[in-house]
Protein backbone atom coordinates (compact mmCIF):
# COMPACT_ATOMS: atom_id res chain seq x y z
CA UNK A 1 0.00 0.00 0.00
CA UNK A 2 1.35 3.43 -0.95
CA UNK A 3 1.68 5.81 1.97
CA UNK A 4 1.21 9.26 0.46
CA UNK A 5 1.88 10.90 3.82
CA UNK A 6 5.56 9.88 3.60
CA UNK A 7 6.01 10.21 -0.16
CA UNK A 8 7.94 13.43 0.33
CA UNK A 9 10.64 11.47 2.22
CA UNK A 10 11.65 9.50 -0.87
CA UNK A 11 14.76 10.86 -2.50
CA UNK A 12 15.18 10.69 -6.28
CA UNK A 13 18.70 9.30 -5.79
CA UNK A 14 17.51 6.38 -3.64
CA UNK A 15 18.67 3.14 -5.24
CA UNK A 16 16.27 0.70 -6.83
CA UNK A 17 17.12 -2.68 -5.36
CA UNK A 18 16.17 -5.55 -7.65
CA UNK A 19 18.64 -8.22 -6.49
CA UNK A 20 21.40 -9.00 -4.00
CA UNK A 21 24.06 -7.25 -6.10
CA UNK A 22 22.00 -4.04 -6.10
CA UNK A 23 21.59 -4.36 -2.34
CA UNK A 24 25.34 -4.82 -1.85
CA UNK A 25 26.11 -1.77 -3.97
CA UNK A 26 23.56 0.34 -2.10
CA UNK A 27 24.95 -0.79 1.24
CA UNK A 28 28.51 -0.01 0.17
CA UNK A 29 27.49 3.46 -1.10
CA UNK A 30 25.68 4.16 2.20
CA UNK A 31 28.64 2.95 4.23
CA UNK A 32 31.17 5.00 2.28
CA UNK A 33 28.95 8.10 2.43
CA UNK A 34 28.95 7.81 6.24
CA UNK A 35 32.51 6.54 6.69
CA UNK A 36 33.79 9.64 8.48
CA UNK A 37 31.48 8.87 11.39
CA UNK A 38 33.06 5.44 11.82
CA UNK A 39 36.39 3.93 12.80
CA UNK A 40 38.80 4.63 9.93
CA UNK A 41 40.86 1.47 10.46
CA UNK A 42 37.71 -0.65 10.32
CA UNK A 43 36.63 1.28 7.21
CA UNK A 44 39.90 0.46 5.48
CA UNK A 45 39.65 -3.22 6.40
CA UNK A 46 36.06 -3.44 5.17
CA UNK A 47 36.81 -1.71 1.88
CA UNK A 48 39.78 -4.03 1.33
CA UNK A 49 37.54 -7.03 2.01
CA UNK A 50 34.96 -5.73 -0.51
CA UNK A 51 37.74 -5.34 -3.08
CA UNK A 52 39.17 -8.80 -2.38
CA UNK A 53 35.77 -10.43 -2.78
CA UNK A 54 35.04 -8.46 -5.95
CA UNK A 55 38.34 -9.61 -7.47
CA UNK A 56 37.74 -13.24 -6.55
CA UNK A 57 34.38 -13.22 -8.33
CA UNK A 58 32.75 -15.26 -5.60
CA UNK A 59 29.05 -14.88 -5.07
CA UNK A 60 27.07 -15.85 -2.02
CA UNK A 61 24.19 -18.24 -2.47
CA UNK A 62 20.70 -16.84 -2.06
CA UNK A 63 19.08 -17.78 1.26
CA UNK A 64 16.72 -20.74 1.19
CA UNK A 65 13.02 -20.02 1.41
CA UNK A 66 12.78 -21.60 4.88
CA UNK A 67 15.46 -19.30 6.33
CA UNK A 68 14.90 -15.79 7.66
* Long-range CB contacts for residues 56-59, cutoff 8 Å, separation at least 24: none
Per-residue burial over 35-53, b = 16 or more CB atoms within 10 Å of its CB, e = otherwise: eeeeeeeebeebeeeeeee
Residue 6 pLDDT > 70:
no
Distance CA 38, CA 32 (A): 10
pTM over 0.75: no
- Residues 12-26 have a mean pLDDT of 78
**pLDDT at residue 25 in the model:** 84
- Residues 27-32 have a mean pLDDT of 80
Amino acid sequence: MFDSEHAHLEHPDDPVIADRQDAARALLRYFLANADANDHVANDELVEEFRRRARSGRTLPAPRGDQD
